[in-house]
Amino acid sequence: MVAEKQSKFKWGMAIDIDKCTGCQACVLACQAENNIPINTEDNFKDARGIEWIRVERYWEGEFPDVKAKFIPILCMHCDNAPCEPVCPVYASYHTVEGLNVQVYNRCVGTRYCANGCPYLVRFFNYWEPEWPESFQNQLNPDVTVRSRGIMEKCTMCIQRIRRGTRKAKRDNNEVMDGDISPACVQACPTDAMVFGNQKDPNSKINKMKNDKRSYTLLDHLKTNSNVWYLAKVDEDTDTHSKEGGH
């Protein structure tokens, strides 16, 4: 087993559902940053589209009294991840910084992890990814292009985390809150998503995760998710809106 070194970092994310407008900028940013193959309509019909982050839409109420709610769903980087123990080749791997990453060169494509994941955020490459000729030079050189037969998932933009920590170490600085942001967080126009170090007591994410509106998805499965959601504030249903939430 990997020796658990005490790391200065434990990464996490908080998403304020109340601020999310469902604009899909995070989805697009992720697609561009992480060399995700282009999904066609047929891919989605076959339920084989690859989206490391997706925005789920929920309608509440009857027309015309209808409300929309958007929940961006990405890998929860669970502390107690159901995808990890099922991997026969240890390709689903937990880093000392609290991230759950996929080691592509170990992966043999059993897809056990995707079946184990309750959030449905692991994706299998059923085809060799292809880009049009004009897109060849837009691929991110810091991210592996996953070939056919490999499982892939959100890495919380590990290439950006490594770049940020490297830069801080070089300048003899501490990594400040907000120095590092994954592509989705950077792209979010309403700042609904916040990424940060949970071991930093003053970080924004620590405040958000201790907010009374905060909850984690599928909490009863005890996955100890590292992505927190802040519930939508609804003045109609929450008569005491200050005490509302989950």
Which residues lie near other proteins (CB under 8 A)? 2, 93, 95-96, 99, 101, 103-106, 141-145, 155, 158-159, 162, 166, 169-170
130/243 with CB nearer other proteins: 130
Shortest distance, position 121 Cβ to other proteins, whole Å: 17
Q: Report d(CA 245, CA 205) in Å as an integer.
A: 18
Shortest distance, position 95 Cβ to other proteins, whole Å: 5
2/66 with CB nearer other proteins: 2
Shortest distance, position 169 Cβ to other proteins, whole Å: 8
The length of the chain is 246
What does DSSP assign to residue 186?
A: H
20/74 with CB nearer other proteins: 74
Q: Report d(CA 126, CA 44) in Å as an integer.
A: 13
104/215 with CB nearer other proteins: 104
E strand or H helix at 183: helix 183-187
104/131 with CB nearer other proteins: 104
Shortest distance, position 111 Cβ to other proteins, whole Å: 19
Place of tokens 């995808």: 83
Shortest distance, position 238 Cβ to other proteins, whole Å: 41
Q: How far is CA 76 from CA 18, 163, 184, 217, in A?
A: 19, 22, 14, 9
162/212 with CB nearer other proteins: 162
Shortest distance, position 146 Cβ to other proteins, whole Å: 9
- Which residues in the chain belong to E strands, given as ranges? 11-16, 54-60, 67-73, 92-94, 100-102, 122-124, 151-153, 193-197, 214-215, 227-230
52/70 with CB nearer other proteins: 52
Is the four-CA dihedral 226, 202, 233, 193 of positive or negative sign? Answer: negative
Q: Report d(CA 66, CA 125) in Å as an integer.
A: 37
Written as six digits, the tokens of 168 are 């801080």
Shortest distance, position 69 Cβ to other proteins, whole Å: 33
Place of tokens 């959601």: 229
- 164, amino acid identity: G
Q: Report d(CA 37, CA 52) in Å as an integer.
A: 11
